Amino acid sequence: MNAFDEMQGTGAGAARPLYERVARWLSESPPETVAARRAQAELFFRRIGITFAVYGESEQTERLIPFDIIPRLIARDEWALLSKGLKQRVQVLNRFLNDIYGPQDCIRAGILPADLILQNPQFRLEVVGRPPPHGVYVHVAGVDIVRTGERDFYVLEDNARTPSGVSYMLENREAMMRLAPDLHARYRVAPVETYPDQLLATLKSVAPRGARGDPTVVLLTPGRFNSAFYEHSFLADKLGIELVEGSDLFVRDDKVFMRTTQGPQRVDVIYRRVDDDFIDPLVFNPNSMLGVAGLMSASEAGNVTLANAVGAGISDDKAVYSYMPELTRFYMGEEPLLNNVPTWRCREPSALAYVLDHLDELVVKEVAGSGGYGMLIGPTASKTEIETFRRKLSASPEQFIAQPTLALSTCPTFVGAGVAPRHVDLRPFVLTGADEVHITPGGLTRVALVEGSLVVNSSQGGGAKDTWVLDD
């Protein structure tokens, strides 16, 4: 598969103009300097303790995400295209969620089938007819984008539930400024350090209308055993807000309070990194120790804002995702600016038949899956893996979708034997407040470190790069 290379484009000759200074920097840097910088990078991340827990690895539950010091560059016009498309996308998501939890026009108009929504476990009956403050469901989205050509960008996932990774966007920049200040100085790179301020402003803007004065915002974490705990504490620190667990909060008379040494303090906005299922044991999973009893009553009474809103997760369903182009036309009356990956919905018999006939070419994913778990990548799968998926698909087709294997773009990356192209994706973070959408210029670039691999997830051995959106 001939992938577009971020540095070389489609040809083998000179670097794209955008990358000329990177190419020169690479050729000028003696191998010893490069080796020393890579060692420093490892040390830097070890010292700040940025780790990621990997489920399913019993011996080593936490590990570093390998950091690559060759940045991924995005030209200004490319970013303009992307950010316009992202804004449109997140507006559609919010309209869609307001609709399905409200009048359900999209179902009535036949845009998507009723059962896909009504019988979806992520469609939370508990919040139907109870719009969140200011009508915002998805305050933070971490949209996964891949590139297949000069102007061809595809959205892989919208990640509207509780996207993580933004701490890497910030840390990777800090690492780059220390490790390669000489390269950074050769470009005008848009800053990402504004993200925490923007996030806090976004969260405050969606405080309930009745909140008095400066709203109190907290970050609710499942605790230190969660794979993203590092990020939770990092963000709370950067935002200057309290990092709380469920037991630090309580609900009294439909109002939420935080226990402090000065007594109870009212809470207006909760940036929650706890899933819907665990957020209130009186309404969802009764055995949850991670949530706050009465939180949904407080939310229904309009006394607290949960970000992201309960129920937003249905838009992460991969069968729902497949309707984004139709939903964009329906709600916005315009064409989608970013492509959707063509998707076979295995719930449809003709699609299922096609997928079963082409398993060795396709990527098959669970509709409710995430993190690169439980998927089949046909072209690199073994016969046994393909047969296992064939059985799963036949048993419960509605649980799966399939997509063509995309030729993700590659980016030069340091590997054992020097510099080589490796596949990358991009996760920019989109903030939606009461009045505006804000997108920090940059994002998390993940890189599949294994040659030829298309799986960039950190849980599956992916690494990370700094992402430079250029101002000139």
Q: Where are the beta strands (DSSP E) in 405-461?
A: 410-415, 418-427, 429-432, 437-439, 444-448
Query: Rounded CA gap, 72 and 62, in Å?
Result: 26
Nearest approach, Cβ of 62 to other proteins (angstroms)?
Answer: 30
In the set 127, 138, 244, 437, which binds other proteins (CB under 8 A)?
Answer: 127
Run of H or E residues at 366: strand 362-366
Nearest approach, Cβ of 119 to other proteins (angstroms)?
Answer: 5
Let me know: does 431 contact 462? Beta carbons within 8 Å.
no
Burial class (CB in 10 A: 0-12, 13-18, 19+), 278: middle
Run of H or E residues at 48: helix 31-48
In the set 163, 281, 433, 462, which binds other proteins (CB under 8 A)?
Answer: 281
Nearer CB in complex with other proteins: 213/286: 286
Nearest approach, Cβ of 282 to other proteins (angstroms)?
Answer: 4
129 contributes a contact to other proteins by CB under 8 A? yes
128 contributes a contact to other proteins by CB under 8 A? yes
Burial class (CB in 10 A: 0-12, 13-18, 19+), 337: middle
Q: Which of 139, 154, 223, 53 is nearest to 438 (CA)?
A: 139
299 contributes a contact to other proteins by CB under 8 A? no
Nearer CB in complex with other proteins: 262/287: 287
Q: Which of 466, 384, 453, 391 is nearest to 74 (CA)?
A: 466
For 241, phi then psi, to 5°, come to -120, 165
Cite the DSSP H helix spans in 185-245: 195-205, 229-239
Q: How many Cα atoms sit within 13 Å of 388 on the Cβ side? A: 10
Among the residue ranges 113-121, 352-360, 380-388, 391-399, the one whose residues contact other proteins (CB under 8 A) = 113-121
Nearer CB in complex with other proteins: 311/462: 311
Q: Where are the beta strands (DSSP E) in 1-119?
A: 52-53, 62-63, 67-74
**Omega of the bond prior to 285 within 30 degrees of 0, cis?**
no
Nearest approach, Cβ of 396 to other proteins (angstroms)?
Answer: 12
Nearest approach, Cβ of 127 to other proteins (angstroms)?
Answer: 7
Binding to other proteins by CB under 8 A, coded x per residue (else -) over 152-191, reads ----------------------------------------
Please identify which residue in the block is written with the tokens 């989608």. Answer: 336
Q: Which of 453, 460, 462 is nearest to 374 (CA)?
A: 460
CA 282 from centre of chain? 29
Let me know: does 244 contact 218? Beta carbons within 8 Å.
yes
In the set 23, 201, 293, 368, which binds other proteins (CB under 8 A)?
Answer: 293
Nearest approach, Cβ of 255 to other proteins (angstroms)?
Answer: 10
Nearer CB in complex with other proteins: 46/252: 252
CA 158 from centre of chain? 7
Residues 6+ away with beta carbon under 8 Å from 458: 52, 54, 65, 446, 464
DSSP state of 470: B
242-244/217-220 β-pairing: parallel
Q: Which of 222, 211, 312 is nearest to 269 (CA)?
A: 211
119 contributes a contact to other proteins by CB under 8 A? yes
121 contributes a contact to other proteins by CB under 8 A? yes
286 contributes a contact to other proteins by CB under 8 A? yes
In the set 78, 126, 326, 398, which binds other proteins (CB under 8 A)?
Answer: 126
In the set 34, 282, 356, 386, which binds other proteins (CB under 8 A)?
Answer: 282
130 contributes a contact to other proteins by CB under 8 A? yes
Interaction residues for other proteins, span 215-274 (CB under 8 A): 250-254
Nearer CB in complex with other proteins: 174/300: 300
Size of residue set near other proteins by CB under 8 A: 25
In the set 300, 348, 366, 398, which binds other proteins (CB under 8 A)?
Answer: 300
Nearest approach, Cβ of 33 to other proteins (angstroms)?
Answer: 57
Nearer CB in complex with other proteins: 124/465: 124
Nearer CB in complex with other proteins: 208/294: 294
Nearer CB in complex with other proteins: 128/185: 128
DSSP state of 427: E
Nearest approach, Cβ of 109 to other proteins (angstroms)?
Answer: 15
399 contributes a contact to other proteins by CB under 8 A? no
Nearer CB in complex with other proteins: 12/125: 125
In the set 14, 36, 39, 114, which binds other proteins (CB under 8 A)?
Answer: 114
Among the residue ranges 82-90, 150-158, 290-298, 431-439, the one whose residues contact other proteins (CB under 8 A) = 290-298
Name the site residues for other proteins (rule: CB under 8 A).
114-115, 118-119, 121, 125-130, 250-254, 281-283, 286, 293-294, 297, 300-301
